[in-house]
Chain A
Amino acid sequence: MAGKILVFLEQRNGEIKKASFEAVKAASAIADKLSIEAEAVTVGSEISNLENVGGYGIKKVTHFKNSELANYSNSAYSKLVADFAKEIGAGIILFSNTSLGKDLAPFTAVKTDAGIAMDITVIDYDGNDLILTRPIFAGKALLELKVNSPVKVITLRPNVFSSGEPSNDKAEIEVKDVSSPDLQTKVVELKKSKGKLDVAEADIIVSGGRGLKAPENFHLIKDLAEVLGAAQGASRAAVDAGWRPHSEQVGQTGKTVSPTLYVAVGISGAIQHLAGMRSSKYIVAINKDKDAPIFQVADYGIAGDAFEIVPALIEEIKRVKS
């Protein structure tokens, strides 16, 4: 059979990310189905929550450690992960489709002679073959595929596979000290956007569009995001006008998101915007034009003026929460 399944765990600031726990859970499900072994690998310096991986179904974790590996280096990380995958005879190597995973997976694939499938949202089986589904054309269509090489590299879209409730099991961690990592390409500094939650990682997103009319009105979006514990997003029209930074843009040429709740305020719902958010579990639209295409995908809509609705919504959420 296919050899082992190996999951790459992504750490940032010494903490394993939520998307990696989703990947661990998915890997242990694949391992059960195919009757193969699953293990995990990570690269970094100190990592605080590594043991918790055990709670999601994988017991064995190998940690390649060196203080210079705290920050990402595609040359060093891909070499360590690929060599390790070969050493343990991995047939499937799983990553999360995060900015790091999207970068690391292809290098690892070439180094392990693997075929590669990105941004998978559904894993199915045909006997022992994995049938993988991924959105294409920014979600306007879905592609079902199979990877026919002996080794397969697969990345999973974050927020799609549930990590479930963890058990109290702890993973067994083997630390391997790395003596001279290949730091040919490396991150020398991390610039964080001031304590903000990124749309790509948020469970709730509140986005504003041209309907807000001016940059100063975006305090409405910010306030609503705050009471909901949400990240702030924007349409391209709002970004192109210079009202919001590009990092907030949702859509075909912005970020693809699939949060539990997406609130679109003053956004018409152009096809390129829908492409980035239509797979959200719940969509709320506030738009004064009741024929706006956004209402075609919205679960709940209010066809009214954002300047009236949003403040009322903020007050009502505060009231219900308290």
Chain B
Amino acid sequence: MKIAVCVSHVPDTAAKINIASDGKSIDQNGVTYVVNPYDEIAIEEALKTKEAFEGETVAISVGPESNKDSIKKALAMGIDSGVLLKHEGFIDSLGVARALADEIKTLDAKLVFFGKQSVDYDNSIVGQLTSELIGYNCVSVVVDFKLDGEKIICEREIEGGREIVETTLPAVITAQKGLNEPRYASLKGIMAAKKKTIEEKDAAAGENVVEVIKMKKPPVKQPGRILGEDATVVPELVKLLKEEAKVI
């Protein structure tokens, strides 16, 4: 079975985000990019599934040339090959999903892992959109995944608990933290990755329907007051919570 994993290439979560002069994108100065943290979990699950059932794994990313770094990371962790679907500039979630759907069909991958969310635009929908576009089943925000023949049993995280979900292949699974512990890329893995291929083609993304009007910084919160350094200020705090915040 062919197993695909979709990876996005995002600013490090510790990056300071500033707005570029166009007012519509982020200032790239000093921003380092990494593979999306949830996608590492997706990569790990693809590898574990391959180890358990055999098959071939492929990592796909939509974006500029620099996204290759995240594909390389996937290859170093053990994914067999990569595909870069080239696209420059802003692309909405549906555009990403259309490009991925097109490639997944071409590859005929029956099981596709995504992260639950890209920590740049935080949409958490590309997996679902892609599965719907190709008519696959889908379970999102998965913290436990079991494959038994064609049957899939997952646990997904919801507010205040978990849902046990059943479905069948072909399917899209989006990975939540807790599903597994992603392995580190070993030196051997990094060396082996150099011999693996990354195919490049243009992304079949279509037109954006989401139009960015502007990007801005959130209003700065006025740093508040340090009321004091010991328990003597506790009554004052409780009074403020009661009278200003009105939560008591």
Seen from chain A, the residues whose Cβ lies within 8 Å of a Cβ on chain B are 71-72, 74-75, 78, 98-100, 102-103, 105-107, 109-111, 115-119, 131, 135-149, 184-193, 196-198, 200-201, 203-204, 228, 246-247, 249, 252-254, 256, 260-261, 271-272, 275, 278-279, 281-284, 290, 295-305, 308-309, 312-313, 316-317, 320-321
B59-67, B71-79, B196-204, B214-222 - the one binding chain A: B214-222
Closest Cβ of chain B to A150, distance in Å, is: 10
| CB <8 Å contact, B237 and A302 | yes
Prevailing SS type, chain A contact patch = mixed
B50-58, B129-137, B184-192 - the one binding chain A: B129-137
Q: Which residues of A contact B209 (CB under 8 A)?
A: 115, 147-149
Closest Cβ of chain B to A251, distance in Å, is: 9
Supply 13 further A-B pairs (C-beta < 8 A) apart from A74-B128, A312-B231. A106-B128, A116-B93, A116-B125, A137-B119, A140-B16, A204-B247, A260-B247, A297-B224, A299-B224, A300-B225, A301-B224, A302-B233, A309-B230
Cβ-neighbour of B211 out of A74, A142, A145 (below 8 A): A145
Nearest 10 A-B pairs (CB), nearest first? Answer: A115-B209, A106-B128, A299-B224, A110-B132, A312-B231, A198-B160, A185-B167, A140-B17, A106-B125, A198-B159
With A253-B13, A316-B238, A317-B248: A301-B163 Cβ-Cβ less than 8 Å: no
With A271-B13, A313-B237: A201-B119 Cβ-Cβ less than 8 Å: no
Question: What is the CA–CA distance of A122 and B49 in the complex, to the nearest angstrom?
Answer: 42
Seen from chain B, the residues whose Cβ lies within 8 Å of a Cβ on chain A are 11, 13-14, 16-17, 19, 26, 37-38, 92-94, 119-125, 128-129, 132-133, 137-141, 155-168, 177-178, 209-218, 221, 223-231, 233-235, 237-238, 240-242, 244-245, 247-248
Q: Which residues of B contact A284 (CB under 8 A)?
A: 237, 241
| CB <8 Å contact, A278 and B221 | yes
| CB <8 Å contact, B14 and A303 | no
Chain A residue with Cβ nearest B216: A142
| CB <8 Å contact, B211 and A103 | no
Cβ-neighbour of A106 out of B129, B157, B216 (below 8 A): B129
| CB <8 Å contact, A313 and B238 | yes
| CB <8 Å contact, A119 and B166 | no
With A119-B122, A198-B159: A143-B212 Cβ-Cβ less than 8 Å: yes
Which of A190, A299, A313 has the largest count of B CB atoms less than 10 A from its CB?
Answer: A299
| CB <8 Å contact, A110 and B165 | no
| CB <8 Å contact, B231 and A193 | no
Question: What is the CA–CA distance of A98 and B245 in the complex, to the nearest angstrom?
Answer: 25
Question: What is the CA–CA distance of A313 and B225 in the complex, to the nearest angstrom?
Answer: 17
Cβ-neighbour of B122 out of A117, A136, A260, A309 (below 8 A): A136
Question: What is the CA–CA distance of A104 and B210 in the complex, to the nearest angstrom?
Answer: 19
Question: What is the CA–CA distance of A106 and B127 in the complex, to the nearest angstrom?
Answer: 9
Q: Which residues of B contact A302 (CB under 8 A)?
A: 226-230, 233-234, 237
| CB <8 Å contact, B164 and A189 | yes
| CB <8 Å contact, A308 and B17 | no
Question: What is the CA–CA distance of A110 and B138 in the complex, to the nearest angstrom?
Answer: 14
With A115-B210, A136-B120: A303-B228 Cβ-Cβ less than 8 Å: yes
Closest Cβ of chain B to A277, distance in Å, is: 11
Q: Which residues of A contact B247 (CB under 8 A)?
A: 203-204, 228, 260-261, 282
With A149-B209, A228-B247: A102-B161 Cβ-Cβ less than 8 Å: no
Chain B residue with Cβ nearest A315: B234
Question: What is the CA–CA distance of A100 and B128 in the complex, to the nearest angstrom?
Answer: 12
Closest Cβ of chain A to B207, distance in Å, is: 9
